[in-house]
Amino acid sequence: SYELTQPPSVSVSPGQTARITCSGDALPKKYAYWHQQKSGQAPVLVIYEDSKRPSGIPERFSGSSSGTMATLTISGAQVEDEGDYYCYSTDSTGYLGVFGGGTKLTVL
């Protein structure tokens, strides 16, 4: 079955740039999506179609994708950005979804 691979954790100081990666064989042909989940809350979409930002998401969140790797970048990370981040995409058929294992972002 298709898998997306993320690092388990990323830690930065406030104001630094946080980068979270997601690797998958189908990413050259399929979009990546990024979700933020804070403790006890439902996930929130922060990046869609590799690099687009939904309304209401701060400009410090950006996304990119190159080859088999997608990257979520938080420029000037803030304490309120702490949480778990999940990438999502589909397999090569486009009909089966998959989430990465999640990355715990710590900002302190």
Partner 1 sequence: EVQLVESGGGAVWPGRSLRLSCAASGFSFDDYGMSWVRQAPGRGLEWVSGINWSGGRTGYADSVKGRFIISRDNAKNSLYLQMTSLRDEDTALYYCARATYYYNSDGYRRDGGADIWGQGTMVSVSS
Residues that bind partner 1 (CB under 8 A): 1, 31, 33, 35, 37, 42-45, 48-49, 54, 84, 86, 88-90, 94-102
Closer to partner 1 by CB, 69 or 99: give it. Answer: 99
Cβ at position 13, least distance to partner 1 in Å: 26
Closer to partner 1 by CB, 19 or 48: give it. Answer: 48
Q: What does the alpha-carbon distance between residue 17 and residue 75 come to, in Å, rounded to a whole number?
A: 4
Q: What does the alpha-carbon distance between residue 30 and residue 92 come to, in Å, rounded to a whole number?
A: 7
Closer to partner 1 by CB, 15 or 97: give it. Answer: 97
Taking CA atoms, 4 is separated from 25, 27, 93, 103, in Å, by 8, 9, 15, 12
